[in-house]
Structure 1
Amino acid sequence: MIFDAEEIRSKIKRPISDDILEGDDFSSDSLYEFIEEEMMKVGSLSHGSVKWDKVEENLIILLNEKTKDIILIDYFIECCKRRNNIVSFYLALSVISDFVSFYWSLCYPKKEGAAGKRYKIRVLDKIFKKIDLFIDSKMDLDCELSFFDEIFKVNDELKDSLSLNEIFSEQADLLYKRIKSKFSDEKSRAELDAKSDVKEVSQEKKDDVIKYNNSASSEKESRKKISEVIDIVKHGDEYASLALRLKRFNLWSSIKSLPDSNKNKTLIQALPKERIAEYFSLLENPTYELWERVESTIVMAPFWIDGQYLSFLISDSLGLHEISETVFSETKRFIGKFPQIYDLTFKDGTPFVSEDCADWLTAKSNDVSSSLISNSEELDSIKVEANEVFLERGLQEALKYLDVKISEASCQKDIYQLRLISSEMLKESGAEDIASQQFEFMFKQVSEMRVSEWDPIFLKRLKNSISFD
């Protein structure tokens, strides 16, 4: 059933063609007319005669092959609601999120200007009311515990899609909170039931179940811990650069591949051009508040690489050179994992990496030394120098020195060797909680990377630094 839901979601999400993503107006099509005739029966004396299966089949055909019409999405949500189970609820929420993200500005019925936007928002609010009723229904909640996390994930995606498209709806805000509350309660209830069942099985089986449940939510818990660390670090704090690294880890660590594309064009919605133009227009008189606004937007748009360039320009202009260097080094590291990103564009043709942004990455890379730290003597020399800076000028300056070395490194091995030194220094200075997080995240990254012949001494130091409490 879950597989079917993902297959249906994929069909509705897929563009109609390379040239016309939203297709054509098919409101006069016989399939469309059949759907409307059947849906007119809903809530009437003829409600029991609605041919639901045929309606759903025709909806998927139209949305997959012919048109992206928000009225059809409204009807499709009604079909999901009729199934009345958690998987159909997930599918309904996913389809709304995808549609808003990819087709909001393109979809039918096409009405120009503010009146057109108000019309679509009215339809969207109507859809949200149906989801609200769905929540109140006695839906079948039989699913794996980890599936609740999928609900939370798509709920967050919908919230981000609405924000990126500047859709402000009180109904949507209330719905987001209701979904979070409803399924948090249901997950807690399911966890209690699972624990009760575990008590009845053997100790060996019990360990297996606990291990499974922990692994299902481990990534979410890790991200939560990172966010907590980021939240306590303020501007000007000696750990500000480290907090930014953690922020970028939260943003990019889950990305294992680039999004699907057709002739280098992806289905990802670009940020509103007006918002980006506003950001760049304020560069002449940058403020810390502007930098925070840009950073807040970056969190919702991992492939907006120009946002990293903008963050660098603002922080550098404000004299936050440690921050700007960190932005550059983390961006360089992410781009290094996916060099094909230079070729990709958003749905409207806007490149992921503009020419100015590409020039920034290239020029700055050429400005710094790209020599390889080829032997342990050079590494030891950097460590000794960092310790001397620490003794003479304090932890903040020592970490800044190491950040510069990290940004100058040209290969993954060097970068991670230097990051380990930085984390070890944090631990030795008493910042054990932050250092522990760094060790664990580094180990996870290193384990997932295909870098040949990691230095065994480096791996041993990293493993020994991790706390498994």
Structure 2
Amino acid sequence: MNMKNYRERIKKPIRAKCAVGERLLDDPLLDFVETQMIKVGSLSHGEVQWDEIEKICMNLLENKTKDLKILTYLLQCMQYQASAERFTLSVYILIDFMTAFWETCYPAPGDRGALPRRKFFSQIAQRTFKSAQNLDAEMFAVDLKVELENAIEQWKEVVKTYSLPLTLVDDVQVLLTNKLSPLSVDTVLPGTSESSTLKAESENTASNLSAISKFKTDSSSDRATKQTLFKMADFLTELDNGSVYSLRLRRLATWLAVVSLPDADQHGQTQLMPLSIDRIQEYEDQLERGADLVLWRKVEKSLTLTPFWLDGHYLSFRIAMKLGEKDLATAIRDELLIFIGRLPTLLNMSFQGSVAFASQETQRWLNDVNNCNSLGTMPGLWDETLKKAFVLAEDGGVSVALAMLNEGLKEAKEPRDKFYWRMLSADVMHNYKLGALASAQYTTLKIQAQSFSVTDWEPSLIQRLENVTDIKA
């Protein structure tokens, strides 16, 4: 991959009048990147297309948006099994981006973005430390060692400018100094009880373990267990990629003791007090003016205090989407669906004063989610998916488009959906001069289509009809 102009491309403003471009909330290239990055550290880790992700991230940062989240993905690619040159370049790219766009970049520019930027910085610094641990000192010529030392010093100066945690950079510097020193661990003078290199390498892990060890698990009562889970959720929030787990754990703690429906009259009305109407309206008004982390924390706090305020989870979902946190929004939705799946009657129950646990709007949202589980039930969606694939192929290459379609195929459950995913792949291959492969795929699909019965095509439809027939009988 050509990296000669990486720094110039990162520093270049998107437009003269808007240096940081626009925030990307619905972009097929970004969707592809995020789908790939979810695989990192999972059983599908070996399928991650690092080169394609890096290429797309550079394209987005150069031409569409200066987004810190996308920069994080780019640096993660560059530091994965990094050479000496790529690691050093990754540090310089970070310096360039921070110098030019730190206070104006997405996802949250200005003062309101101080906390999110700080979290992204911690995440980047921790990953840089881990990558530095895996560097081979023998790859560094003398001039490259000097270059890296200069880069780290420049990074420290930028970090000081924005009052970010300097200790994170110091950790990286100490580790690299010891790793690239003429004295390796094997040649440390006798009598040294522990090399400084090993100390630096274990510092982050040790601090995390130390923090975990402070937790005292108390399961003496439901309340004590709940408080333990909330404390662990707070801790997870501070860890790299821990926010999703924290959010899920909070909901586990909130609903831990809910094993049956609350007492209610024949109309489903309970004696539980609803959240103040004024408070809810205040939340909605703030969301209308613009979502931020302060609002989100308030809503999440209210959810922990009001377990049956199901509308609040839809509100939290909308805030997450406004902030561009799609993974967290998905987690909110999934956890609520699991909870409702255990006690579906909750959707028909209410607080005092007949205030519904879940409004019609919230129930429509949940129904839409269930109806979207099969692409085959959504008219026109296949056309939209094909358009998205063509955009990916045009901007990122045919391999990126086919990878996206392959992801859809792997997740499909109905034979009908699998058929369409394969046909879309054939359409892309045909459109981009891979005629022989496309022709073979079309032939196979034609043979399958001619042999399908309705039962084979969409077995869930038959099952649904059978269930309805049984009920009416």
TM over 0.5: no
After TM superposition, the score normalised by the length of structure 1 is: 0.37
TM-score by length of 2: 0.37
